[in-house]
Amino acid sequence: MQEKYMLILTDTFEEVEAITQVDFLRRATILIDMISITGSLNVTSNRGITILADDLIENVNLDDYSGIIIPGGLPAAFNIRDDKRVLDIIRKFDSEKKLIAAICAGPSVLAKAGILSKKNATIFPGMEKELLDANFVNDAICVVDNIITARGAGLSLEFAYTLVRKIKGKVQEKQLRAASVDNLLREFILKEENNG
């Protein structure tokens, strides 16, 4: 059976951090379900965009999933952090060495679950204390064993590539990058800097 991943959603989620992961994992033919913790399949983002989640957290069979992804957004990330069901999933998945990933304020959820203790991790700038007893690193993206943390919305695409590399390997990541013509980004940035 093909591996499948869950992305947790609640109201006020950060759109680009959530949808980019779903979009790019599906482009890489990785199964990913958007799972709502609100009791409703309709979940509304920080900027008023309502999306339809694939399922409710109370319906999921954890054995069907190989990992969990937590997007940011406030107060969404803190509401996820305070949801015992999510914390229990994270602890279970960590004990099974399944993939656990979070971006922006999302790593605060992993810290509260207790899985970052004494491990390197990163989080949105200014929120370092939310990592509790983790070792904060000033990296864009931090990968430690089965855990991936990233700093914020501007890294959403790179976070997705990192997930694809972790799940399917470097060849699939390179193919996805090529299809996304991300090789043109550096040239664009340099050109804009020279013109500005």
**Torsion 137-66-170-192 (CA) sign:** negative
Which one from 104, 123, 127, 147 is the annotated catalytic residue?
Answer: 104
* Burial tier of 187 (Cβ tally within 10 Å: 0-12, 13-18, 19+): exposed
Active site residue 104: yes
Q: Cα(150)–Cα(78) distance, rounded to whole angstroms?
A: 16
List, in order, residues 6 or more apart from 60 with CB less than 8 Å away.
6, 33, 35
Just list the catalytic residues.
104
